[in-house]
Each structure stands twice: as C-alpha cells, then as structure tokens.
Amino acid sequence: MNTWKNKSILIALILTLAFSMLAACSGANKEKPAPSSTNQGSSNGGNDSGKSEGLTGDFEIQYFVGGYGDTWWKHVIGEFQKQNPNLNIKQTAGSQINDQMRPRWIQGNPPDFVYIDGAGSNEAQMVTDEQLLDLTDFLKGATNGDGEKILDIAIAGPTDYSGKNFTLPLVFGSWGTFYDKAWFKQQGWDTPTDFESFMAVSEKIKASGVSPYIHTGVYPYYINGGLVNSAIVAANGGDTSIISRMASLEEGIFKSEPVMKALNRIVQVRDAGFVDPGAIALNHTDSQMAFLQHKAAFIPNGLWLENEMSKDVPEGFEFDFIPSVMQDKGEKYVAIPYTASVAIAAKAKNQEAAKAFLEFIFTKQFAVDWAEMTGAIMNVKADLENSTAGPVVKTAMNYFNSDNLVVAPALIVNADVETALQDSIIALLDKRITPEEWGDRLEKAAAAAR
C-alpha cells in the first residue's frame, strides 16, 4: 500500500514538472518576436517591400549624367535605399564617368550595376569583352514590385547576342529633326514632311540668311541617328531590316544600293549649302545653343534636347520634333530609335542587389517619373497623357502610335565600326570622301570586326 502511494506521488510530481515545462515553453514562444516580414516575399522592390529590405553589403551603381540629368537616378536610388536600409549604396556618376571607370572595368573591379550611355560607352564592345553578366534566364522571370513581368511591359526587348541577353534597354527614344515651331509660324516656313518639302523650306531659310541645318560635329552619332540612318531606311522603301543587316555587318551591305542612294541625298543637302560648315567643330552644347539662338533652323537630336537645354531656352521658343525628313513624298516617317541599356557586371560583387535593383526600377510609375524628370521616354509602356511630361515627348508618342511611321531597330555595332561610321560621315560632309569611299571605309571596318 505504501508502495502504491509512493508511486502515485512520484507520478504526480512528474506530471507537475511536465506541465511546468510546457508552460515555460509556451511563455517563451509568446515573448519571442515574430519573424520579420523583411525576410519574406518578393525581392522585386516597387510597392512590395518584401525580401529587398533584407539586402545588405555594398552595392555600387555607375550611371552617366548627360542630357537626362541625374534627378531620376537620385530619386529611384533614394527609394531603393528606403526599402533596403542596411544596404550601403554607392553612386558612381558624372559626365565623364565612362572614361573614369574604364580602368576599373579592365582591371576586373567594376561596379555592380551599370547604365550604359554617353560618350566612351559601347554596349556591344562590353559584351564582346565579356564584361557583362548573362541575364537571359533572369529576364525571362524578372517581375517588378507591381507583379508585372518586365518583358511584358517593355517597349523594346533586350538586344539579342547570339541567343543571349546581357542588357535591357532603359531608355527608348527616337532620333529626329528639331525646330522652333513658333519661329517657323512667324517666318511663314512650312514644316517639312518629306525630302522634297525639306529641301524647299531649307532654300527659303538659307535665303533669309539663316543656316538651315546645324549638327554636333564633335559627336557625329547625332547626325547619323537623326538624318543618315532614317535616310537609309527610306531609301530601302521603308524596309527597316537594312538596319539589322548593317548591325550584323553583312558583307557588302555598306555599299548596297539603298545606302548609296541615301548618302547621295546627304550630298545633295551638303552641296546645296544647307549644312552649316562650321558645325564640324561644334560639340553638342555649342550646336544646341546656336539652334536656340536661331542661328540655324534645324538640328538632329534625341528627345532629351528640351530637358538638357531647359535653362537656356529663350522666351517664346516652342520645340517641335519630326522623326525623319529624308523619305519620299507620300512615304511613311522613319523613326530611328536609340536605346540606352542597363546591365550587371559579370564580376559584380553583389549580384543579388543588382538584380533586385533592376526589377525595382522597371515600373510604370517610375516610367512616368522618368518622362516628367527627363523629358524622354523610358522603355516601359506607360500612359503619359495625364503626366506633366513635355509636349515633345507626347508628340513622339503620338508618332510611335501612328500608322504613318515605321520604327527601325537601334543600330548597335562594335567600337571600331562605330568609329568608322562617325569618322566617315564627317569626312563626307567635309567633302573629303565620296559616298563610294564611305562604303569602302565601312566595309573594311566590318571585315576586320567579322
């Protein structure tokens, strides 16, 4: 009997101890903080704070500061920093940043994320030099903070490099010819709609003592994008595939009939005295100032022009934009787009942050912000009608949405061929070479690149 009582007491003690331990554990669980939401969910950024709040370490972003300024970059980087308070973000930026950073790229110590734009940068060359991360698989599933697949809302997809993608266009704009709409109306000059009307109004402008056409001779890619390439597409019957054939360095393409026809039209403009002879020595700022001061009527440029020169625009000046002026009467306008892409360095030290940042910036709201802050178009299908974006950007969008326009692919070639393109158009405008010799130069450069 005593034995049974002793066993009962022992069991009671064990049960009491067990319940005490359970109670202690339960109390410990109540006191322990719940797992932070910063370690769950999406890493996209945008409206979903998600996983991106957990990003840590150093993260370096390189971006060129030119006509678009740096307001948008500071804006989106600031927002990304808010969602990643433990991430040490370094901005490496400036108008000469490409030249300044080149040694680091060569030495294998690049930034994590790069915006490829401006003098001294060449996307195709960076791919050739294996400096950029292969983003092919990543981009297929990349989703922004609004839950949208980035490739579904992009105007232009990534450039194809033998089946692989290393970059994604951030900027989608159009080269074209700019003029002062108010001044033209005052002078009674008609806005050209084709080559014939361009030549006719240029004759009137020249007779008034004003240079019809000025350009940025120090950076010849302005006139190549704004005049020459659209002339080539127009001479090819509006068939934009000729730009792709040029980009692929197809043998003989630079001496083909459409290219020679286009260059001969450039020679017509030159020989009529419509191109300001002093333009060859001008940089972009000088040529644009001459344009704003009505020393010239037309200038080839990109959609950033209005924003870049906003502090120098005279009162009453009204920017307007024409995609092309080299097509025949009744033919469609030709838009030569320019794209400036973003990429991640192959040797990035923080690839996770770089990928999260890429997803973060590609939203419709940031696209509207880009239009309002830069006066240009971001590579996202966004509604700009209710935005405060300038009239030039909205005009460009109207052209893009028109059935009376064809959009060519961007012409992206390696550095040596690009140099030949730039040097050769200046030599042609300076009457040092013929269109045939232009073709010889480019065929030689293309053969060496192949």
In a domain, 9, yes or no: no
Average pLDDT over residues 207-230: 97
Q: How many CB atoms lie within 10 A of CB 396?
A: 24
Q: Is the dihedral of CA 400, 46, 169, 368 positive or negative?
A: positive
Same domain as 243, residue 96 = no
If asked whether residues 247 and 300 sit together in one domain, one would say: yes
Residues 331 and 378 in one domain: no
- Same-domain check for residues 186 and 129: no
Domain presence at residue 265: yes
What pLDDT shows up at residue 13?
A: 38
- Pair (147, 206) in one structural domain: no
Show the domain range for 389. Answer: 54-171+339-393
Q: Count up the domains in the chain and report the number.
A: 2
Share of the chain above pLDDT 90, in %: 72
pLDDT score of 46: 42
Both 104 and 80 in a single domain? yes
- The answer to whether the beta carbons of residues 242 and 310 sit under 8 Å apart is no
pLDDT reading at 9 higher than 80? no
In a domain, 41, yes or no: no
Residue 134 covered by a domain: yes
Domain co-membership, 117 together with 258: no
Compute how many other C-beta atoms are within 10 angstroms of the C-beta atom of residue 382: 21
Whether 329 and 195 share a structural domain: yes
Is residue 238 included in any domain, yes or no?
Answer: yes
- For 388-419, the pLDDT digits (tens) are 888 888 888 778 767 898 888 888 898 899 99
Q: Which residues, 6+ apart, have CB-to-CB distance to 363 below 8 Å?
A: 46, 144, 145, 146, 148, 380
Mean pLDDT check: name the lowest of 99-108, 151-160, 269-278, 338-347: 151-160
Q: In the numeric block, which tokens belong to residue 38?
A: 């910063």
Do residues 164 and 235 share a domain?
Answer: no
- Domain presence at residue 37: no
- CATH number of the structural domain spanning residue 91: 3.40.190.10
Each residue's pLDDT tens digit, 135-155? 999 999 999 999 999 999 988
CA atoms within 13 A on the CB side of 26: 6
- The pLDDT of 50-66, averaged and rounded, is 84
Q: Is residue 20 part of a domain?
A: no
Question: Nearest 5 degrees, angle CA 427-CA 432-CA 438?
Answer: 55
∠ CA 273-277-282, rounded to 5°: 145
- Look at residue 191 in the predicted model and tell me its pLDDT: 97
Burial annotation 36-61 (CB, 10 A radius, 16+ → b, else e): eebeeebbbbbebbbbbbbbeeebbb
In the predicted structure, residue 232 carries a pLDDT above the cut 70: yes
**Considering the domain boundaries, does residue 16 fall inside one?**
no
My answer on whether 158 and 189 are in the same domain is: no
Model confidence band, residue 53 (pLDDT cutoffs 50, 70, 90): low
Is residue 292 within 8 Å of 309, Cβ to Cβ? yes
Are 278 and 151 within 8 A, CB to CB?
no
For the whole model, what pTM was predicted? 0.68
Same domain, 281 and 422: yes
Q: For position 316, what pLDDT does the model report?
A: 95
Residues 329 and 343 in one domain: no
